[in-house]
Structure 1
């Protein structure tokens, strides 16, 4: 039998199931922070640099505004971010961390190290894997979907 369509031989399934494993690993830790995984990603983007526009956050996370806006509304309701119209262009919404949102960064700092430790992989292995996955993602994003 050909291995072409065996589930366990599929890279896409390995990535899909690894994503689920990461989500299960992170969920209880993020619950303690009052965040979902997508909200955590938004917060990481803002912890790197703020303020940022809704558009720039969406570009960074590969999310469209119809997905991102509800995430930002929930983060704003939780007191982690504020959203304001840009003074330069009122069509643009800028997102800024609140003091509570900035302070949350310290509580979130141990999460990547905990995931690394739980993976049983070395930092070099994980770095190589991340580079490979980014290359695959970028190639697939530019490939003809037809």
Structure 2
């Protein structure tokens, strides 16, 4: 995937509710966020988009919010010849599946918020597909 599209996706996921715009204004990059939003609305992409994303990230990082559009950074040792880890996600149950994938941990966090038995045992029930009503299926991905 293209870096700009990936970073815009992360930004989009955090932009709801107005808190992002409020902080951007407070951190002196409200105009940068406005330019990014206008570029997405109008469908224009250019070299300035990546520069604006970097400027936004740098301003937020100066205030302790790292990886706003780049994602969290963490040390990952070189895998070398070791086997690759496998991640299990909830996926669409339909015969012609959509691209919805949800980490099991996200479901467990929601269950913990409800203080359910599943959260205490770690065996959270899969979320339901809103279109079919069927529970999502576990899908394994090798990293």
Q: Check whether TM > 0.5.
A: no
The TM-score normalised by the length of structure 2 is 0.28
The TM-score normalised by the length of structure 1 is 0.28
Q: Greater share of helix residues, 1 or 2?
A: 1
